Chain A
Amino acid sequence: MQFISYSFVILWMITFALYYLLPKRMQWYVLLAASLIFYGVGLGGFPLNLLLTGVTTYGCGIYIKKALEQEKEARKQCVDREQKKTVKAAFQKRRKRVQILYMAFNLGLLVFYKYAVIAVPVIETLMGRHAGFLEKVIMPLGISFYTLTAISYVVDAGRENCEAETDFLKVLLFLAYFPSVTQGPFNRFSQMKEQFAGEHGFSYDRMLRGIQRFVWGAFKKLVIADRLGIFVDRVYGVEAASVSGSIYACATVLYMLQLYADFSGYIDMASGVSETFGIILPDNFRRPYFAKSVAEFWRRWHITLGAWFKDYVMFSFVMSGTGRRLGKACKNKWNGYGRQAVPIMGTMLVWFFTGIWHGRTVSYMLWGIYYGLIMSVSLVLEPFYESWKERLPVKGKHGERIWTFIRMARTWLIVFLADVLIRSGSLAQAGAIYTSFVTRLHIGSLLSSEITSYGLGRYDFLLLIPVLLIWLAVSAAEERGLDVRTVLAGRPAVIRWACYYGIVLMVLITGIYGGSYDTAVFMYQSF
């Protein structure tokens, strides 16, 4: 079930009505029922994998909870610090063993579904027969998202950053919560538990704010992302040698915007739906193209995924026995740079996994390694940045602005080069596109009729100018700390409603739909 579909709007309306009409203690049951319907309809069948993950997550959480209670009891009997340490280590070992089994099972399922497409044909070729196994394998909806969400629950329970839940259905709701189950954001149990359990009274303002955010997300998705997608798909779909470098550059810039509009549009819609129930989802985007460095870009883009990898991969590795031993061994080596060895290894690990989480091709793996290397090199060069800046003629307030712009442009360039890699159909195509930037840029193509021969006509480009400016203006206001919805709420009714209707009409009239108002699919769903 897609957000932009009649069936979703009907489900949302019925859930909303029941949520506020039934007794408040029933509210979370309503959300669970809606989530299972949303998921079941989207999957087109029984959600076996989701339930398997739910059962194992619940079971592991209960085991951890009991083990922690036993550890506390055992520590009370200890007479000194050393004895306490021994008891702690013994219990930690037991918990870790169960956690490893749990992760092996759930990550195994994820890897199986993600990589069966690649592995099965290879196995069948080696065996010399086609068993038709692949046809029966359907990747469960949102498995990349709910698996990582489930792991965060188990690890947090083990780290005592949240208390494991004793009600299985509440664990299931946490994993299957319908606004975020298919594309995130990655929720943390400690942030969601109280919200799900809380009793929420109806609020007209909150409902209005939720709907506003949903419509704004639809605007970004249907008016911007899907329109840009037409051009990007056409350009990247033709023979590389026949397209000039400037057209590829234009398509890649538009792809950068398309991906952002598509994914942040989804998150706005998910957050808007959730807000109408009084449940606030974590921020997943904070205007990434205002970032002045790649590290900052990734602190602003897909924030909850970055936080997940930082907390559960980076820190787990660095703080592990191996990480600590390596850290101690390298600390005083290489002229003081040795202390950065373990953080760099952690960074490379994080980015390798981020790459393969996003896609199952070599391009995604290289994309991850590329970002890992850039982050690591930045870490080593950081002490020199200030001295380099001192040598540049960028002084005073004006100079600072130029310097900020230079840094932003550098970030855009790095992201631009990375996006060529993941948007291309193959490494060979990516190579040909990079070459075209150097050997046949042909800037004039951008002003010739060629630009309108890739699916977007003159009027589409003319429409994109004000639409992108509206998006930029809203982003700039948010960057200055303004909440646009609050600002609008304070304006006279005529202006306020003109804005609301204007955006709704733009979505309805200028949105890109398929055969009916019922067919928009989101890009991140395929991850």
Chain B
Amino acid sequence: MQERILEILSEYCEEALTYNGDSMMEDGIIDSFTVINVVSDLEDEFDIEIDAKYVIAENFRNKEAIIALVQKLLEE
């Protein structure tokens, strides 16, 4: 699962894979367009629905946070 998430992420922003900080959106690594496209692909790939409430900077602060979000939604 992690590998597939990273593949999706790298499709839109390779820099996100090497980013080590914790505010990827504020630091301009990913913008809202990337987030929307990544969310759409993650929904299709894992058959989950990512509500607007999850689309916050906190859940997209780095690649680990995105993986954790998907994991949480899969467990729900």
**For the complex, is B72 an interface residue (Cβ under 8 Å from A)?**
no
Q: Determine which of B26, B37, B52 lies in contact with A315 in the assembled complex, contact meaning CB atoms within 8 Å.
A: B52
Give the interface size class of chain A.
20 to 34
| Closest residue of B by beta carbon distance from A319 | B52
**For the complex, is A526 an interface residue (Cβ under 8 Å from B)?**
no
Q: Determine which of A159, A295, A320, A342 lies in contact with B36 in the assembled complex, contact meaning CB atoms within 8 Å.
A: A342
Please determine whether A160 and B53 come into contact, CB atoms closer than 8 angstroms. yes
Please determine whether B52 and A346 come into contact, CB atoms closer than 8 angstroms. no
**For the complex, is A251 an interface residue (Cβ under 8 Å from B)?**
no
Q: Determine which of A299, A316, A320, A343 lies in contact with B37 in the assembled complex, contact meaning CB atoms within 8 Å.
A: A343
Cβ contacts under 8 Å, B17 to chain A: none
| Closest residue of B by beta carbon distance from A375 | B33
- B3 CB → nearest A CB, Å: 22
- B19 CB → nearest A CB, Å: 16
Cβ contacts under 8 Å, B51 to chain A: 159, 319
Please determine whether B36 and A311 come into contact, CB atoms closer than 8 angstroms. no
**For the complex, is A519 an interface residue (Cβ under 8 Å from B)?**
no
Please determine whether B28 and A159 come into contact, CB atoms closer than 8 angstroms. no
**For the complex, is A318 an interface residue (Cβ under 8 Å from B)?**
yes
Cβ contacts under 8 Å, B39 to chain A: 319
CA–CA, A133 to B36, complex, Å?
46
Please determine whether A340 and B52 come into contact, CB atoms closer than 8 angstroms. no
Interface centre among B33, B39, B50, B51 (most CB of A within 10 A): B33
Please determine whether B28 and A315 come into contact, CB atoms closer than 8 angstroms. no
Cβ contacts under 8 Å, B31 to chain A: 295, 299
Please determine whether A319 and B50 come into contact, CB atoms closer than 8 angstroms. yes
Residues facing B in A378-412 (CB within 8 A) are 379
- A502 CB → nearest B CB, Å: 33
Q: Could you tell me the dominant secondary structure of chain A's interface residues?
A: helix
Please determine whether A343 and B53 come into contact, CB atoms closer than 8 angstroms. no
Please determine whether A315 and B32 come into contact, CB atoms closer than 8 angstroms. yes
CA–CA, A483 to B56, complex, Å?
28
Please determine whether A343 and B52 come into contact, CB atoms closer than 8 angstroms. no
| Closest residue of A by beta carbon distance from B58 | A161
Residues facing B in A302-338 (CB within 8 A) are 310-311, 314-316, 318-320, 327, 331
Cβ contacts under 8 Å, B53 to chain A: 158-161
Cβ contacts under 8 Å, B28 to chain A: 296, 299
Please determine whether B32 and A314 come into contact, CB atoms closer than 8 angstroms. yes
**For the complex, is B55 an interface residue (Cβ under 8 Å from A)?**
yes
**For the complex, is A339 an interface residue (Cβ under 8 Å from B)?**
yes
Cβ contacts under 8 Å, A318 to chain B: 36, 52
Please determine whether B33 and A319 come into contact, CB atoms closer than 8 angstroms. no
CA–CA, A319 to B35, complex, Å?
11
Please determine whether A340 and B33 come into contact, CB atoms closer than 8 angstroms. yes
Please determine whether B52 and A159 come into contact, CB atoms closer than 8 angstroms. yes
CA–CA, A527 to B55, complex, Å?
29
- B58 CB → nearest A CB, Å: 8
Q: Which residues of B contact A (CB under 8 A)?
A: 26, 28, 31-33, 36-37, 39-40, 50-53, 55-56
Supplied contacts A161-B56, A342-B36, A343-B36, 18 more A-B pairs, CB within 8 Å: A158-B53, A295-B31, A296-B28, A299-B26, A311-B55, A315-B55, A316-B52, A318-B36, A318-B52, A319-B39, A319-B52, A320-B52, A339-B37, A340-B33, A343-B32, A343-B33, A343-B37, A379-B33
